[in-house]
Amino acid sequence: MKTHPSKTERLHALDSLRAIMMMLGIVLHSAITYIGGNPSPGWPTRDSTTDSALMEWILYIIHNFRMPIFMVIAGFFASLLFFDRSPKRMLVNRMKRILFPFAVFLILLWPLVNASFWFSNQVFGFADPLGATKGSQLVNSFAATFTDLSALIPERTMHLWFLYYLIMFSVASYALAQLFKNFPVVTEKTTAILDVLLKRPLAKVIVSIALTFGILLFMDREWVATSLSFVPDLNTFVFYFFFYMCGWILFKSKHLLSTFMKYDWALTILGTAIYTAYFLADTDSLAAEVHMLINATCVWLFIFGITGLFLRYFSNHSARMRYISDSSYWVYLLHLPLTALLPGLIGKWNAPAIIKFSIVVLVTTFICFLTYHYLVRSTFIGKFLNGRKYSRRISDIKKAEVVTQLKPAMDK
């Protein structure tokens, strides 16, 4: 009889959660254009004809929970690779799946993103940018900006900033895990404490909020802004590494993941209600510490609540959801130039912000999935991003799952 090391079965709920958090980038980046105000370095265009509070609410509430949840899941799966496979395989896998795509797509997307923002800004800045005269002026002006090859050298990490930090997190977590191999008592005590907390819904929420509030208080930040610089930002690193390590430690207590389902709906609804009230209220007079506490409270209500909902409803294998999970990396990489370009293409339409926003989301999603299906999934690009090529047929995903389920029995 053959024996095999015990390995964690595929966690479909967490796969799905990671994918949806990545894809929410389409929603978040589609909303920014329509919140009104002036362009910012992080999103250098605005539709001057719109000023939507709804878009602003969508933007800020997603921004509160999306990346922290993603970092928790990223840390969990990195820990899985480290302990279930091997430390070396974990590091090699992270470099192949994160470092190489980051380097390649940073170079490929930089001119596309710049061109997209440039076009939309011209639309919002000219009376008739697509007219014959001004249209030709724009084309000539744009071409002139790329006569210097230095313009093709990326100056910022763009939306790939999270890959940039994940590279650093992978190396840091690898080093820490190797170090703490020499102190098994610390690991055992940490796991024991987490096990106790996970079994106590109120305690786990309070402790998590307190730790996050302490980090914000120490950094003197109400929340941590995304850093797009190639120079690592200490606040960004510390803040998101905290969530990443929460996921890393959680892997050792994976047998208690089901506890996330307790009060999942209540926590999600409560987080939404608190953040909505916070958004609608006049908060200018509130002390910085109050802002910190509200943000810290909401992020953990969402982390426990939304994770619990995915564990409740997406734990079983679904061929369609697996397809979406497989596509999420490509969708995230490609979506930014589209969400920057499409607002310019419909910029002169006399339509409410919600209509323009919906069009940008739907068209971006359609293009991303269409290109993934025909240009990525079963090609060398898909292998580069996901480690292997996949069949385009949903039925083949179902067959592959059946084979995977039969393997343990066949190996005995």
Inside any domain, residue 298 = no
Inside any domain, residue 218 = no
Inside any domain, residue 171 = yes
Structure tokens at 55: 């878009």
Q: Of 183, 222, 177, 227, nearest to 64 (Cα)?
A: 222
Inside any domain, residue 312 = yes
Domain count within the chain: 1
Question: Which residues form the domain of 392?
Answer: 12-137+157-207+224-270+303-411
Inside any domain, residue 293 = no
Q: Of 227, 237, 226, nearest to 167 (Cα)?
A: 237
Inside any domain, residue 290 = no
Q: What is the pLDDT along the chain (412 residues), one digit of tens a residue?
A: 344 444 556 689 999 999 999 999 999 999 999 998 888 888 888 998 888 999 999 999 999 999 999 999 999 999 999 999 999 999 999 999 999 999 999 999 999 998 899 889 888 873 343 343 444 444 555 555 556 666 778 889 999 999 999 999 999 999 999 998 888 888 889 999 999 999 999 999 999 999 999 999 999 999 998 899 999 999 999 999 999 999 999 999 999 999 999 999 999 999 999 999 999 998 888 999 999 999 999 999 999 999 999 999 999 988 999 999 999 999 999 999 999 999 999 998 999 999 999 999 999 999 999 999 999 999 999 999 999 888 888 776 765 554 444 343 334 3
Inside any domain, residue 130 = yes
- Positive or negative, the CA dihedral 61, 354, 47, 29 is positive
Tally of CB atoms within 10 A around 399:
12
State whether residue 49 is helix, strand or coil. Answer: coil
Inside any domain, residue 26 = yes
The number of residues making up the chain comes to 412
Buried b / exposed e along 271-295 (16+ C-beta atoms within 10 A): bbeebeebeeeeeeeeeeeebbbbb
Q: Of 327, 398, 396, 403, nearest to 365 (Cα)?
A: 327
Q: Look-up: residue for tokens 């999970």?
A: 325
Q: What is the DSSP letter of 39?
A: -
SS3 content of the chain, % helix, strand, coil (to 5): 75, 0, 25
Query: Phi first, then psi: what are they for 390, rounded to 5°?
Result: -125, 150
Are 126 and 134 spatial neighbours (Cβ–Cβ below 8 Å)? yes
